[in-house]
Amino acid sequence: MPFSTIRKTVYKGVDTKLGFDIKNQDRKPINLLGKTIMVNVMQVRRGELVLQRRAQITEPQSGYCEFSIFGYDLTDLEPGIYQLSAQLYEDDGMARSLYSDLNRAATMEIELVDGAYPKYFDSTLLTFTEDSGIWVSQPVAGNLQRNDSSTLHTLQITTTDFTGTLTAFSSLEYGSMGNYSPIKFLDNTYALSINRTGTTTVDIPNTHTTQGWNFRGSFRWIKVVYTPDINNTGTVDKILYRS
């Protein structure tokens, strides 16, 4: 049942969707209603399985399905040639091989290419120092400092029974100790408020939770500050930043 005979190119740093027509040996489409297609990606030399995912059957009567490879699937993979194979599971649970050509080859090649798109960067774990009842993070490099064209910034905050406020500050100075100004969050799923000093803040619920907030802009340096309420007994467990 041929599904492709051409080597596919996959680029690190972006999502890729591969489409396949599933046909029988007479080149007629196979009806995929009630069937499941599982796709494997293997490292050629070691035969190691590096990715396995169910294909999405988008046009079952014409035998067409799509297989998605996401950017995060490729983060730890080296550029080079990989093998792709697939099995068709009948509605009775029986697994059948899919072949990439009429010679019954069970694999096809995909080439993983690096360098076309920006590399993935890990999030930065912020560390905090207490200063007169508030907690201030170390300065972290923003998108301008890293020559990153993205203007979207994200904070992921994990708390336990914490009540208080959180504020982000930015600087355009070349040095990390320069002047900082407050940032207005743009995450429209959480209410923003302004306190008496005019600083933009966002409330943190009194629960054990992980939440995220986004803001946009071009900055060289970012600082995060959180201030516990006077009756707070909880903790801020972790704050991650990425741009």
- Residue ranges of the chain that CATH labels 2.60.40.1930: 8-113
Residue 3: predicted pLDDT: 56
* pLDDT level of residue 130 (50, 70, 90 thresholds): very high
Residue 198: predicted pLDDT: 44
The residue to which tokens 């009842």 are assigned: 133
* pLDDT level of residue 92 (50, 70, 90 thresholds): confident
Residue 77: predicted pLDDT: 85
Residue 151 has pLDDT above 50, yes or no: yes
Residue 200: predicted pLDDT: 52
- 149 or 153: which leads in pLDDT: 153
User: Do the strands 64-69 and 209-216 form a parallel or antiparallel pair, or are they unpaired?
Assistant: unpaired
Residue 174 has pLDDT above 90, yes or no: no
- Residue ranges of the chain that CATH labels 2.60.120: 124-242
Which amino acid is present at 141? A
Range with the largest mean pLDDT of 143-147, 149-153, 154-158 = 154-158
Residue 187: predicted pLDDT: 56
Selection from 214, 190, 215, 216 nearest residue 203 by Cα: 190
Q: What string of DSSP letters covers the chain?
A: -B---S-EEEETTS-EEEEEE-B-TTSPBPP-TT-EEEEEEEETTTTEEEEEEEPEEEEGGGTEEEEEE-GGGGTTPPSEEEEEEEEEE-TTS-EEE-BSSTT----EEEEEE-SSSPPP-PPEEP-EEEETTEEEEPPEE-TTTTT----EEEEEEEEES--EEEEEEEE-SSSTTS--EE-----TTS-EEE-TT--EEEEE-SSSEEEEEEEE---SEEEEEEEE-TT---EEEEEEEE-
- Rounded to whole angstroms, how far apart are CA atoms 166 and 77? 37
CB contact set of 187 (below 8 Å; sequence gap of 6+): 202, 212, 213, 214, 215
Residue 235: predicted pLDDT: 84
CB contact set of 91 (below 8 Å; sequence gap of 6+): 34, 35
Q: Domain 124-242, what fold?
A: Jelly Rolls (2.60.120)
Residue 191 has pLDDT above 70, yes or no: no
Residue 186: predicted pLDDT: 65
Residue 195 has pLDDT above 60, yes or no: no
Edge-to-edge strands of the sheet including 235-242? Answer: 124-125, 235-242, 152-160, 209-216
Average predicted confidence (pLDDT) for the chain: 81
pTM for the structure as a whole:
0.52
59 neighbors 8 (Cβ within 8 angstroms): no
CATH assignment, 8-113: 2.60.40.1930
